[in-house]
Amino acid sequence: MLRSRVGAVRPVGEFFDFKRVSKPRNAAEAQARVIYNLSYFSANYAIVFAMLSIYSLLTNLVLLFTLIFVSAALYGIAYLKGQDLNLGFTRLTTSQLYVGLFVIALPLGIYASPFSTILWLLGAAGVTIIGHAAILDKPIESAFSEQAV
């Protein structure tokens, strides 16, 4: 009997089982495969999505720098706990720090083109994940478990 935990990471050999790769006969079979494989390999697909996300950040270094810069600046402002930043020659309030961060981060964020990166990520992940789910046939054990006895 086929027992599976939803959300568990499946072995790589099962995820890349080339013996089960075949073209679906029609759209209904492809849809059934996608539904089954998305639930069965959900953790594996989450790992694929995470790897594509890391790849997209490593290929868009301006966006990576912007994210690190904004995160570090927000952490630094929160670290002040509402107190003013005293630089010796001037005092900056929390509001001034947030406005300064916004003035710097907005053009930097626009230049980093996060929307095109997100759209690429959604497209690449969609093609990869849905494509894999559509061509990987269900295991034989699942066909027997679906039939009424």
Q: Tokens 């952490």 appear where?
A: 75
147 Rama class: left (phi>0) / alpha (psi -120 to 50) / beta: beta
Q: Domain containing 133: what range?
A: 20-138
Give the chain's mean pLDDT. Answer: 89
Q: For the segment 38-71, what is each residue's pLDDT rounded down to a tens digit?
A: 998 999 999 999 999 999 999 999 999 999 999 9
Say yes or no to pLDDT of 3 above 60: no
Say yes or no to pLDDT of 78 above 90: yes
Rounded to the nearest 5°, which phi and psi values hold at 21? -80, 125
Residues sharing a CB contact under 8 Å with residue 80, sequence separation 6 or more, in sequence order: 94, 97
Say yes or no to pLDDT of 88 above 50: yes
Count of domains for the chain? 1
pLDDT at 33: 93
Residue length of the chain: 149
Query: Is 136 strand, coil or helix?
Result: strand
Q: Write out the DSSP string of 79-143.
A: HTTTPPEE-SS-EE-HHHHHHHHHHHHHHHHHHT-HHHHHHHHHHHHHHHHHHHHHHBPPPHHHH
Domain assignment of residue 35, yes or no? yes
Q: How confident is the model at residue 146 (pLDDT cuts 50, 70, 90)?
A: low
Q: For the segment 95-120, what is each residue's pLDDT rounded down to a tens digit?
A: 999 999 999 999 999 999 999 999 99
Which of the residue ranges 8-22, 26-40, 47-61 would you say has the lowest mean pLDDT?
Answer: 8-22
How far, in Å, CA of 139 to CA of 143, rounded?
7
Residues sharing a CB contact under 8 Å with residue 12, sequence separation 6 or more, in sequence order: none
Say yes or no to pLDDT of 145 above 70: no
Q: Tokens 């001037």 appear where?
A: 90
